[in-house]
């Protein structure tokens, strides 16, 4: 089965929302052998969409509610800051938001 980056993105973040764990610990990495464990499926998609002489982030498919095409200042950045803290419920809440953000089609 050929799973899209969007489907993998949602699966990963839904798992993080359910468990409160780090994305590096997602069991799905075991079947995504060609992808680094600390990567982002939205970033992989952005690279795929990128055109010459443009910034990869300009092609991010996630519709972040903060800066357009940027995860800076977003739920992802907040989630990332909370790693290593005991704020599991807040990490779960943020991961749930990330999992369901709209994904721009080409």
pLDDT value at position 71?
78
- Does the residue 105 lie in any domain? no
pLDDT value at position 1?
45
pLDDT value at position 36?
66
- Does the residue 74 lie in any domain? yes
> 79-88: long-range contacts (C-beta < 8 A, 24 or more apart)?
79/16, 83/22, 88/20
> What is the residue range of 71's domain?
5-100
- Does the residue 59 lie in any domain? yes
pLDDT category at 100 given cuts 50, 70, 90 is very high
- Does the residue 106 lie in any domain? no
Domain count along the chain: 1
pLDDT value at position 69?
62
Distance, CA of 30 to CA of 49 (rounded, Å) = 25
pTM confidence score: 0.86
- Does the residue 63 lie in any domain? yes
User: What mean pLDDT is reported for the chain?
Assistant: 87
- Does the residue 15 lie in any domain? yes
DSSP 38: T
């Amino acid at each position: 089965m050929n799973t899209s980056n969007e489907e993998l993105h949602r699966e990963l973040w839904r798992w993080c929302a359910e468990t409160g764990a780090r994305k590096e610990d997602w069991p799905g990495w075991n079947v995504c052998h060609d992808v680094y464990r600390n990567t982002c499926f939205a970033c992989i998609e952005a690279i795929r969409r990128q055109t010459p002489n443009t910034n990869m982030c300009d092609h991010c498919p996630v519709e972040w509610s903060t800066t357009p095409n940027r995860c800076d200042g977003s739920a992802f950045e907040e989630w990332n800051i909370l790693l290593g803290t005991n704020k599991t419920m807040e990490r779960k809440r943020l991961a749930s938001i990330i999992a369901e953000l709209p994904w721009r089609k080409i």
